[in-house]
Amino acid sequence: MCGIFGITGTVTDAADNVFVGLKNLEYRGYDSWGVALRSHEGIEITKQVGKISDGELATSLAHEAVGHSRWATHGGVTLENSHPHRVGNVVVVHNGIFENYLEYKTKLEDTIEFKSETDSEVIAALIYLELQKGVSPEEALTTAVQNIEGRFAILVMFDDTPGIWAVRRGSPLILGRGDEQTFIASDIPAFLEKTNVVNYLDDNQMAYLYNTDVDFWDLHTGEKITKRNIEVEWDFESADKGEHPHFMIKEILEQKETIARAINQERDQVDEFIKALKKAGGIYIIGCGTAHKAAMATEYFFAQIAGKKVNVVAASEMDAFKTFVRANTAIVCISQSGETADIMEVVEYAESVDATVLSITNVASSSLARASKVALPVKVGPEKAVASTKATTGQMTIGFLLAHAYADTFNKGLGILLGAAANINDMINPRYEEHIESVAQEFKDNENLFIIGRGSLYPMALEAAIKIQEVSYIHAQGFAAGELKHGPIALIEKGTPCIVLGDDQETISNAIELKSRGAVIIGISTGEHEVFDHWLRVPDAEMAQPLVSVIPIQILAYHFALLRGHDPDMPRNLAKSVTVK
Ligand code: AGP
């Protein structure tokens, strides 16, 4: 969480470009923002509480600037807690968590007058105190960051030394190489309009940017290293909202094409992935939030299509299962961003025991993709809305394809998916959206909503709940259809809206049980049924049904958010990329 962005160069629009580029990192946190620029008078800092997209930065000429868009971890959403933080001649922007910061803050309180409640200001203080010993900036940084426990990325400016210093451990930092400027950011969209030539900073590496020159060091050995220039494939156009009011609806509608894009995998990569799975003594599929629900759907695909049991665990819960992860274990990580801290911790553990890391990720350049033996790209283009939509269906597409590849029925799987992709293209049209909007209108003031599904639609009931919760703030809860009568049915009152996924006989029986207790039933299925008070038709996608059934719920969640007056792209308390534990 938090986006950081820095620019050095031979031209003087660094601050303006940081301000503009930082808006493309706003999905990482939007509590407050700030920019530090180097002028003739020294380093000038501007900060504001609120979204950077609502902010303004007075134009100033500068060759160098750093910026920050904050997702508050330590300390409330205040100007004092906003970045950049200055201690003496040191200015820092920070993404990540300094887990043991209190130990140092307490020790230093007599020496440093701290102005914020943040862990980040303590990093600035540690660097400042090292500098006081008369060492060089790189020595001060190297020593100071040794004290930090946790995952982080920092950019540092010094009043008396030109250039920007960057250190990475656990949180992403990518350099962009332009002709007149060098960029360093938490994510590529910050500078994608300017260049697509990048260098990846790896963990425990430091960079020094000055004009268009960059030096890299390994923090462990202290030695200089060289980096290969890599061209990334994303174009700037696809990271833009275009004619749509929000990224969320743009990304939902893009599913007309993105399933087909996700299907289009390199066959030899899929074969290598399957070979690793077949060789493994045990398979874990991990993910967080929505990606965890895509993992659960993949578990059903493997069971139903390939007759193979895989273990699905939320990445944040893997600690209890670590003892089962050994050199012959395959860990399949599903992640849109490829930067989620809970996943990267498991990856680091897997690496330490020589387990095989495989991944399904939308960001082909992410830390996860780079750490994987085989990384299958989801290929749906940048997903900017906090609520995952097109990446989810893309991930499930690949999960489905893998299950068929495992069962040696790859072409059959391909055929089903191509059929689903064509049907989704027909399903998503303005009339369909209007119908869903009218359903949202009827239930927008309800504070509770339940969703049930059976088999591979059960994970979609859980996913539906996340989607509705995160953008509309309605208390939505998903259940396995057959579990209701074991407790949750007590929650049903007259008028409680319940979404029923599927129209198989057993699920319909559960819907009837709900209705006889007063529930209003919204059916999402291929066929209509009299128990449904409202019906959202979805095409028949055979075993790939979760892919199509989740889409009307995404549209419903979007309209709930609008009707309740919320910004669906930037819901409260959330950030797109969760890079803290
Ligand atoms: C999705 O709608 C959520 N905002 C969230 O659950 C997300 O899926 C989760 O944080 C995992 O992110 P990742 O896919 O980037 O790893």
Question: For the residues of 295-355, what is the DSSP string, one character each?
Answer: HHHHHHHIIIII----EEEEGGGGGGGGGG--TTEEEEEEESSS--HHHHHHHHHHHHTTP
Q: How confident is the model at residue 234, as a pLDDT? A: 65
**Ligand 1 center to 4 CA (angstroms):** 20
Q: In the CATH scheme, what is the homologous superfamily, with its name and number, of domain 3-239?
A: Aminohydrolase, N-terminal nucleophile (Ntn) domain (3.60.20.10)
**Ligand 1 center to 381 CA (angstroms):** 15
Q: How confident is the model at residue 14, as a pLDDT? A: 96
Centre a 10 Å sphere on the Cβ of residue 431 and count the other Cβ atoms it contains. 7
DSSP one-letter code for 71: -
333 is catalytic: no
pTM to 2 decimal places: 0.87
Burial status of residue 258 (CB atoms within 10 A of its CB: 0-12, 13-18, 19 or more): buried
Locate CATH 3.40.50.10490 in the chain. Answer: 242-427, 429-568
Query: pLDDT tens for residues 354-369?
Result: 999 999 999 888 999 9
Query: Are 508 and 424 in contact, with CB atoms under 8 Å apart?
Result: no
Q: Which atom from ligand 1 is nearest to the alpha carbon of 466?
A: 2
Find the catalytic residue in 105, 390, 467, 576: 576
State the sign of the Cα–Cα–Cα–Cα dihedral 340, 343, 345, 348.
negative
CATH class of 242-427: alpha beta
**Ligand 1 center to 577 CA (angstroms):** 7
Q: Which atom from ligand 1 is nearest to the alpha carbon of 574?
A: 4
Query: pLDDT tens for residues 192-241?
Result: 999 999 999 999 999 999 999 999 999 999 999 999 999 987 655 566 78
Query: pLDDT tens for residues 522-550?
Result: 999 999 999 999 999 999 999 999 999 99
Helices 458-472, 545-563: crossing angle, 10 deg rounding: 20
Q: Which atom from ligand 1 is nearest to the alpha carbon of 391?
A: 14
Label the pairing between strands 197-200 and 3-9. Answer: unpaired
Q: Which residues contact 346 (CB under 8 A, 6 or more apart)?
A: 286, 315, 318, 331, 333
DSSP one-letter code for 164: E
Q: How confident is the model at residue 241, as a pLDDT? A: 84
**Ligand 1 contact via 386 beta carbon (within 6 Å):** yes
**Ligand 1 center to 342 CA (angstroms):** 11
The alpha-carbon radius of gyration of the chain (Å, integer) is 25
CA distance 453 to 176: 45
- Which residue's CA is the closest to the ligand 1 atom numbered 16? 335
For the chain, the straight-line distance linking the first and the last C-alpha, in angstroms and rounded, comes to: 10
Assigned token pair, 310: 């895989």
SS3 498: strand
Query: pLDDT tens for residues 13-66?
Result: 999 999 999 998 988 888 999 999 999 889 999 999 999 989 899 878 999 999
CA distance 565 to 559: 10
**Ligand 1 contact via 340 beta carbon (within 6 Å):** yes
pLDDT at 9 over 60: yes
Q: How confident is the model at residue 236, as a pLDDT? A: 55
Query: Are 543 and 404 in contact, with CB atoms under 8 Å apart?
Result: no
Beta-ladder partners of 453: 480
CA distance 435 to 437: 5
**Ligand 1 contact via 316 beta carbon (within 6 Å):** no
pLDDT at 295 over 80: yes
Categorize the per-residue pLDDT at 579 as very low, low, confident or very high, splitting at 50, 70 and 90.
confident
Locate CATH 3.60.20.10 in the chain. Answer: 3-239
CA distance 205 to 96: 16
Q: How confident is the model at residue 575, as a pLDDT? A: 82
Query: Are 453 and 461 in contact, with CB atoms under 8 Å apart?
Result: yes
**Ligand 1 center to 344 CA (angstroms):** 14
Centre a 10 Å sphere on the Cβ of residue 551 and count the other Cβ atoms it contains. 26
CA distance 249 to 257: 14
Q: How confident is the model at residue 233, as a pLDDT? A: 77
The whole-number average pLDDT for the span 565-577 is 89
The whole-number average pLDDT for the span 238-254 is 89
CA distance 273 to 356: 10
The whole-number average pLDDT for the span 470-496 is 94
pLDDT at 384 over 70: yes
Closest CA to 381 of 372, 369, 394, 370: 394
CA distance 87 to 81: 13
Q: What percent of the chain has pLDDT over 70?
A: 99
Identify the CATH assignment for 429-568 out of 1.50.10.100, 1.10.3720.10, 3.20.20.70, 3.40.50.10490: 3.40.50.10490
Label the pairing between strands 374-377 and 356-361. Answer: parallel
Mean pLDDT over all residues of the chain?
A: 95
Q: How confident is the model at residue 50, as a pLDDT? A: 93
**Ligand 1 contact via 474 beta carbon (within 6 Å):** no
**Ligand 1 contact via 336 beta carbon (within 6 Å):** yes
CA distance 258 to 378: 9
Return the H-helix or E-strand segment holding 176. Answer: strand 174-177
Return the H-helix or E-strand segment holding 215. Answer: strand 213-218
pLDDT at 68 over 80: yes
**Ligand 1 center to 392 CA (angstroms):** 9
Q: How confident is the model at residue 40, as a pLDDT? A: 87
- Pocket test of ligand 1: the residue of 186, 247, 251, 290 to mutate, having most ligand atoms within 8 Å of its CB, is 290
CA distance 369 to 334: 10
Question: What is the 3-state composition of the chain as percent helix, strand, coil, each rounded to the nearest 5?
Answer: 40, 25, 35
Query: pLDDT tens for residues 409-448?
Result: 999 999 999 999 999 999 999 999 999 999 999 999 999 9
CA distance 187 to 411: 36
Cα distances from 572 to residues 72, 342, 345, 561, 569, in angstroms, run: 12, 21, 26, 12, 10
Q: How confident is the model at residue 72, as a pLDDT? A: 86
DSSP one-letter code for 501: E
Q: How confident is the model at residue 239, as a pLDDT? A: 64
Q: Which residues contact 103 (CB under 8 A, 6 or more apart)?
A: none
Query: pLDDT tens for residues 301-343?
Result: 999 999 999 999 999 999 999 999 999 999 999 999 999 999 9
